[in-house]
């Protein structure tokens, strides 16, 4: 939901890599991509993040997306301690 009450329908895809640790039962996310339509136009914004260790990867988690006059504003958070320190 945008700041003005409009709703967006986005597409999200994830690619999974190996297991985070030997005892892990779930595979970890290797790459994530969001396709976000720009309100009032046919354009789309594509946000992607790979979860490689820094500095090769960006390891950012998408928290919030909004648009003001067609300009995208994106808030993210580091995905773990190594990303935060980098």
Q: Are 60 and 32 in contact (CB under 8 A)?
A: no
pLDDT tens digits for 62-85?
Answer: 999 999 999 999 999 988 776 777
Res. 24: pLDDT tops 80: no
Q: Is residue 2 part of a domain?
A: no
Q: Is residue 46 part of a domain?
A: yes
Q: Is residue 48 part of a domain?
A: yes
pTM: 0.77
The whole-number pLDDT of residue 85 equals 72
Which domain does 33 fall in, by range? 11-17+27-85
Percent of the chain scoring above 70 in pLDDT: 95
- Gap between the Cα atoms of 35 and 11, Å rounded: 5
pLDDT tens digits for 3-23?
Answer: 999 999 999 999 888 776 777
pLDDT tens digits for 36-61?
Answer: 999 999 999 999 988 777 677 777 88
C-alpha distances (whole Å) from 68 to each of 8, 11, 26, 34, 80 are 14, 20, 38, 19, 30
- Work out the number of other CB atoms within 10 angstroms of the CB of residue 49: 19
């Amino acid at each position: 939901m945008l700041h003005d009450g409009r709703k967006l329908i986005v597409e999200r895809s994830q690619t999974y890599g190996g297991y985070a640790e030997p005892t892990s039962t779930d595979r970890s996310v290797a790459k994530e991509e969001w396709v976000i339509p720009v309100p009032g136009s046919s354009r789309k914004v594509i946000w992607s993040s790979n979860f490689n260790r820094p500095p090769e990867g960006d390891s950012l988690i998408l928290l919030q997306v909004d648009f003001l006059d067609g300009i995208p504003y994106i808030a993210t958070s580091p995905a773990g301690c190594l990303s935060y320190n980098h």
